[in-house]
Amino acid sequence: MPSDLVNLQDKIEFHFSDLSILDRALTHRSFNQEHNERLEFLGDSILGLVVSEALWRDNPEATEGELSRMRANLVNRDTLADIAQEIDLGSYLRMGSGERKSGGKRRKSILADATEALIAAVYLDGGLEQSRKLVKDLLGSRLSRRITRGNEKDSKTRLQELLQSSGLALPQYQVIDTSGEAHDQTFTVTCLCALIDKPVRGEGKSKRLAEQNAASQVLENLANP
């Protein structure tokens, strides 16, 4: 067994009976046709199930909308890429030379997909309980933190409710710039509402996150004029 695969299995505290499943989970489509995309699909569903179940059990007072927001904050590309970096998953990935030379082992989308594929591989080799343990171990304090703070509303919702309570129009968001390569873009969004004199900017790796950051900045400006 390659020593690097032993190290990875030690990190995730699960050792495979069938290493071919792990091999496929670590194979990008640029390497060969036995790649991990089907495992990504399965892993995404398992991840969603485990996180949804944990949030549902530990937040009995939360509404459907609040649970959905909590899950979205946990099950997303940025979080999964961060997890991959924590276990150095990129160094175990197999990919074509072109993808590797262009920085594929550090690309967030590839790292996030590989994390999902790894979760699926553990499920196929060890069953649901093992994959549930893996998800909870990988998320670690993130899951506890989201559960503890679960009833907090996101910035866009809080700003919207603030305006509605005053009988004012809803905020307007506009994308003013998109930079970076197609696989790793950064969006700049402005937020304008009746409570501020000029638009406030926010940036993020998605339009949704950029809007949240802009709304958060508006709320901070209002709290600290």
Residues 6+ apart with CB under 8 A from 221: 196, 200
What domain range includes position 128?
A: 3-148
Q: Do 92 and 8 lie in a common domain?
A: yes
* Helix (H) / strand (E) containing 190: strand 186-192
Per-residue pLDDT, averaged over 22-50, amounts to 93
Whether residue 59 contacts residue 70, with contact meaning beta carbons closer than 8 Å, is answered with yes
Whether residue 138 contacts residue 197, with contact meaning beta carbons closer than 8 Å, is answered with no
Residue 168: which CATH number?
3.30.160.20
Q: Do 43 and 11 lie in a common domain?
A: yes
Q: In what order do the strands lie in the sheet with 172-179?
A: 172-179, 186-192, 200-204
| pLDDT tens-digit readout, 85-144 | 999 999 999 888 887 777 777 888 899 999 999 999 999 999 999 999 999 999 988 887
pLDDT tier at 2, thresholds 50, 70, 90:
low
pLDDT of residue 135: 95
Residue 73: which CATH number?
1.10.1520.10
Q: Do 92 and 108 lie in a common domain?
A: yes
The single-letter code of the amino acid at 73 is: N
pLDDT of residue 144: 72
pLDDT tier at 145, thresholds 50, 70, 90:
low
pLDDT of residue 98: 80
- Which of 148, 174, 200 finishes a domain? 148
Q: How many domains does one find in the chain? A: 2
Q: Do 124 and 159 lie in a common domain?
A: no
Instruction: Look at 71 and 173; give whichever has higher pLDDT.
Output: 173
Catalytic residues: 44, 116
pLDDT of residue 1: 44
Residues 6+ apart with CB under 8 A from 125: 14, 16, 17, 18, 21, 22
Q: Do 68 and 38 lie in a common domain?
A: yes
- Which of 81, 113, 148 finishes a domain? 148
Least Cα distance to 61 among 147, 160, 136, 156 occurs for: 147
pLDDT tier at 204, thresholds 50, 70, 90:
confident
Q: Do 113 and 11 lie in a common domain?
A: yes
What pTM was estimated for this model as a whole?
0.65
- Which of 148, 169, 184 finishes a domain? 148
